[in-house]
Amino acid sequence: MNTQLPSNEIIDIEQLRQRLIVAERDLATKIRMIDKLEQVIAQLAQRHWGRSSEVNPGQADLSLFNEAELAAMQATLDDELEDADEQAGDSPADGQGTDGEDDKAPRPKPAKPRPRRLLPDHLERVRITHELDEEHRQGECGGQLMPIGEEVTEQIGVIPARQFVIQHVKLKYACACRECGVKTAPMPLQPLPGSQASPSILAYTMVAKLLDALPLYRQEKMWAREGLDLSRSKLARWLIDSASFLQPLYNLMQEMFFAYDIAMSDDTGIQVLKEDGRSASSRSALWIRRGGAPETPVVLLDYNVSKGSAVASTLLEDFKGFLVVDAAPSFNAIVSKNELLTVLCNDHSRRKFVEAGRHAPKGKKGTSEEWVATKAIAFYKRLYKLEEQIRDLPPAQRLEKRLREAVPIWDTFMEWAKKVQTLGVRHAKTRTALNYLIKHEAGLRRYCDDGRLPISNILTEHVAKTVALARKNFLFADTPAGAASSALIYSILESAKANNHNPLHYMTAVLAEMPNAKSIEDIEALLPWQLSPDQAAMLYHSQPSPTQKIPP
């Protein structure tokens, strides 16, 4: 019996097989696209409605940072649990056991009084004394009650921003002979001659806008409530003119930046409406550089229309040494040209695993989608915990601890990561996080080569976050001049913060003293590591005020 199929039927089966292969390939492509779109939707939903914390709700124990708020809440909770445990372990009071047995059961300990937090000593105290009236000063025996001590309760008081006018009265002098002419007493030079702006209001406006994210149009309304006509255009002009006045201080800070062999850099976006040849919706950049020796930290911000490598190469042209950055390609050209050693930010790598863990599909326990990100974050938790422990050690001791403890963790971490990559991971974000870690291994662990190097670029990112908060409120800069002035003023304020200054005190002192500086040495004396916080505070409080007697 002949069972062989006709030739035309064999062709039909082969065609069907080919169609099935094509259909399966198309289906796999569409499934991958659907997975990717679902991840994008989940990510957008998380950004719009989700928590801002990077901690996976299901993995709270993997938190990498002990935030002050969480630490305080945890301390309070521990105290409450300790008190509850002590009371639960004791029998009821009055010597009665739960079964009415005997009075030998331990009595519950009284609740521990919570120590009252003391208010700062530098705040002025306004003393209000409360006395008994005459009828209550009589004792039960008929004797007179006498003061024997006092109880002090402290509250925080506040006086809202108080406006006043500073009158500079220049007395005129003449001789009785009427032949010597007239002499007028000079007044100190001002930051903006001919302007109504004093150093104090200029500094206040700068700090309010750039550090406290209070846009000029809101400041305009605040002043209007007090009867002052300070338009946003006038305030903006004050800031632009003040920035050019502060340029020599910025130049000296930049020299200190290039004098040290460790620098950090990052950038953040800014929108400028009136840029030549560009639409109002175009995005420009504020470039951030942080460097200087530990005792002379410098923070510099610069405005530019581009985030490209040409800008990075210009800003870092004279720098040599270690550059702490993310893996953005904009730094590649200057790294190659100046033979810089890149120290990559581990926060960027860690965040990729946090994001992967947040959006990983939930499968059976132990599948790669669930445990790879968790395992990687656990490795990072150990590395960051070590950094927290050695933070206050000298660089030589930090290096020793890193070589002894961090390097073995990295070796195990990378061996595990490469093995997982070889086995394969289906989840796209997890695969991306692994690839980033392995591709940039050398840069990510380079901080272990020098005890002075940080594990991440978080200090620069803090500056970017300050800019982002202000940007969220005032949305854009009107002109390139406004953006450039904001960048320069940011540089002075952030450098002051890095040197432990009160930014308002420091900026007021600088604006008051700079006009009367007669030499480069006078300007150098105003650098934030030369002028101490106490000296800046003294100069700030020496400015004219309504409670201060102004000499005639």
pLDDT digits (tens, 9 = 90+) for 292-319: 999 999 999 999 988 899 999 999 999 9
**Amino acid 11: pLDDT:** 55
- Per cent of the chain over pLDDT 70 is 79
3-state helix, strand, coil in the chain (%, to 5): 55, 10, 40
Share of the chain above pLDDT 90, in %: 54
**SS3 labels along 405-447:** HHHHHHHHHHHHHHHHHHHCCCCHHHHHHHHHHHHCHHHHCHH
Per residue in 151-174, is it b (16+ CB within 10 Å) or e — as a string?
eeeeeeeeeeeeeeeeeeeeeeee
Mean pLDDT calculated for residue range 192-212: 94
Distances (CA, A) of 90 to 10, 112, 203: 88, 16, 60
Which ranges of 182-246 would DSSP assign to H, the alpha helix? 199-206, 216-225, 232-245
Is the distance from CB of 328 to CB of 311 less than 8 angstroms?
no
* Pairwise pLDDT comparison (238 vs 95), residue with the higher score: 238
pLDDT of residue 26: 81
Distance CA 352, CA 162 (A): 48
- Encode pLDDT of 68-115 as tens digits: 443 444 455 455 444 544 454 444 444 344 344 444 445 556 656 666
Beta strand pairing call for 298-304 and 182-184: unpaired
Which pLDDT belongs to residue 89? 46
**pLDDT value at position 476?**
58
The pTM assigned to this predicted structure is 0.75
How far apart, in Å, are the Cα atoms of 5 and each of 12, 18, 20, 151, 382? 11, 19, 21, 109, 68
Mean pLDDT of 509-517: 96
E-only strand ranges, 168-321: 172-174, 182-184, 262-271, 283-291, 298-304
Among 80-94, 174-188, 504-518, the least confident range: 80-94
Token readout for 529 is 């590591």
Check residue 137 and give its pLDDT. Answer: 83
Interatomic CA distance for residues 354 and 43, integer angstroms: 12
Q: How confident is the model at residue 50 (pLDDT cuts 50, 70, 90)?
A: low
Q: What is the mean pLDDT of residues 522-545?
A: 95
Looking at residue 362, what is its pLDDT? 65
Alpha helices in 448-502 (DSSP H): 458-474, 480-498
Place of tokens 């779109």: 37
What strands lie across the sheet with 341-344, from one edge to the other? Answer: 298-304, 283-291, 262-271, 322-325, 341-344
Tokens linked to 356: 């992967």
Is the pLDDT higher at 371 or at 192? 192
The residue-averaged pLDDT of 117-141 equals: 84
